[in-house]
Amino acid sequence: MNASPDSAKTPLGELIGRLSALHQKRIDLGLERMHRLLERLGHPERKLPPVIHVAGTNGKGSTVAYLRATLEAAGLRVHAYTSPYLVHINECFRLGGVLVGDDELRAALEEVERVNAGEPATVFELKTAAAFILFAQNPADVVLLEVGLGGRLDSTNVVDAPAACVITPVSMDHMDFLGDTLASIAGEKAAIIKRGVPAICAEQMPEAMAVIEAQAKRVRAPLFAANESWHVNVERGRLVYSDDRGLMDLPAPRLFGRHQFANAGLAVATLRAIPHFKVSQAAFEAGIVGAEWPARMQRITSGELLAWGPQGSEIWLDGGHNAEGGRVAAAALGDLEERVSRPLVVVAGMMANKDAQGFLANFAGLTRHIIAVPIPDTENAMPVDRLADTARSLGMRVEIAPGIEAALRGLSKLAYEVPPRILITGSLYLAGHVLAINGTPPA
């Protein structure tokens, strides 16, 4: 599908704004509108290369990054659909490993807009349909399809026979949409598991694992669960993976944090569970050290932020926004502290519907210095006063800054014996803003 001369004149932002006006709710889970769209489009979801469908609360993006890097190292052409984007909407769509161009994306979105004919539909539904168009029209060996929210009623859950279904760690998040117990949330995630299709599962809390096991049994899907069918250990700083086919001694992941060993192991287990993918040890090694996923314990090594912060300081960016996301970021910071001790400052901005206390409590033993900042140009961002009050309730010393630049410049005025370690965290929306102002958007 080629973009018309007229469509090339429509900025993507204007087109997305037009699509956003079609539904009064940003999130409205359900598949009826999606099925209607896909039928009008001629069912592109039935014309895809083999699909690996990935659901879970935390670690979806990192797991997809390991899968993509490994498959590409094996010489395969890979499409990927992920969300949310950090700076540009193009980040959600990779065609053969490359971000989709504006013209091609615009043409796909306008085709979806045309067949939708003004009927109510969420932006996520519309762009998911556009992804299926793009993936059906461009040859590839595999599609990596990340769930947006939940699983059972997510717009991606329309592929009847994927090659594999993957469940990353499940924890409490989006309770207003998925339920207020771990079991109910796990049920929503596990609903992507399809009849007879291999299901590969990360280590879970017992109540979540019970639900996933029951769903796999119900649809007779072979289940490959961490610590049962496969194992990951860290030995001498390396990733040691084992299953009934043998043992692999692999390098440490490039992505930072001890949780990344588990995410990388989940990707390895997934590819070993799909019979028609033949991946060599060399490809696994290259994928683990080559995977990139921005705003997940990402060290900022260039850009404007380094000039604003104290000279010699470390600046890290993490989009974690729930209690479990805070836990793994705090664990990563603990590992850094053991290597090189520095005073820690957490600069945080969050969305109003997030559990700020559950998130920030993870850092209470690491720092007493929190700077609360707003998330610019974002609906439903948490007021900084509310975030600051939450931090104070945890015994933290809190300041409020009008933005990231002001927060970092304020730190530059303080006297440090050792330059600080600064973590900017609490929201992917904040992370996207940071990458944009730093001049280092994902590519």
Q: Per residue in 316-344, pLDDT tens?
A: 999 999 999 999 999 999 999 999 999 99
- Identify the domain containing residue 326 by its residue range: 298-438
Q: Per residue in 200-234, pLDDT tens?
A: 999 999 999 999 999 999 999 999 999 999 999 99
Q: What is the pLDDT of residue 4?
A: 42
Residues 132, 49 share a domain: yes
Of the candidates 290, 325, 341, which is a domain's last residue? 290
Check which CATH number belongs to the domain holding 271 and give it. Answer: 3.40.1190.10
Q: Which of 72, 68, 90, 88 is nearest to 80 (CA)?
A: 68
Q: What is the pLDDT of residue 10?
A: 76
Name the helix (H) or strand (E) containing 116: helix 102-116
Q: Is the peptide bond before 50 cis (omega within 30 degrees of 0)?
A: no
Would residue 1 count as lying in a domain? Answer: no
Residues 371, 279 share a domain: no
Residues 351, 261 share a domain: no
Share of the chain above pLDDT 70, in %: 98
Q: Which of 295, 340, 338, 331 is nearest to 313 (CA)?
A: 340
DSSP code for 226: B
Q: What is the pLDDT of residue 443?
A: 86
Residues 316, 247 share a domain: no
Would residue 363 count as lying in a domain? Answer: yes
Q: What is the pLDDT of residue 27?
A: 83
Tell me how many domains the chain contains. 2
pTM for this model (two decimals): 0.93
Q: Per residue in 158-184, pLDDT tens?
A: 999 999 999 999 998 887 888 889 999
Residues 312, 278 share a domain: no
Would residue 443 count as lying in a domain? Answer: no
Distance CA 377, CA 380 (A): 10
Residue 275 has pLDDT above 60, yes or no: yes
Residue 78 has pLDDT above 70, yes or no: yes
Distance CA 256, CA 78 (A): 24
Would residue 247 count as lying in a domain? Answer: yes
Of the candidates 238, 263, 290, which is a domain's last residue? 290
Tokens 């720092």 correspond to what residue?
367
Decide: residue 418, CB within 10 A, 0-12 exposed, 13-18 middle, 19+ buried. exposed
For residue 9, name the pLDDT band (cuts at 50, 70, 90).
Answer: low
| Residue 397: strand pairing partners | 369
Residues 316, 282 share a domain: no
Check which CATH number belongs to the domain holding 377 and give it. Answer: 3.90.190.20
Residues 422, 386 share a domain: yes
Of the candidates 266, 290, 314, which is a domain's last residue? 290
Mean pLDDT along residues 260-264: 97
Residues 283, 375 share a domain: no
Q: Per residue in 383-394, pLDDT tens?
A: 999 999 999 999
Would residue 308 count as lying in a domain? Answer: yes
Would residue 174 count as lying in a domain? Answer: yes
Q: What is the pLDDT of residue 107?
A: 97
- Beta 238-243 vs 246-250: how paired, if at all? antiparallel
Would residue 377 count as lying in a domain? Answer: yes
Residues 60, 12 share a domain: yes
- Beta 230-235 vs 238-243: how paired, if at all? antiparallel
Tell which wins on pLDDT, 6 or 115: 115
Would residue 126 count as lying in a domain? Answer: yes
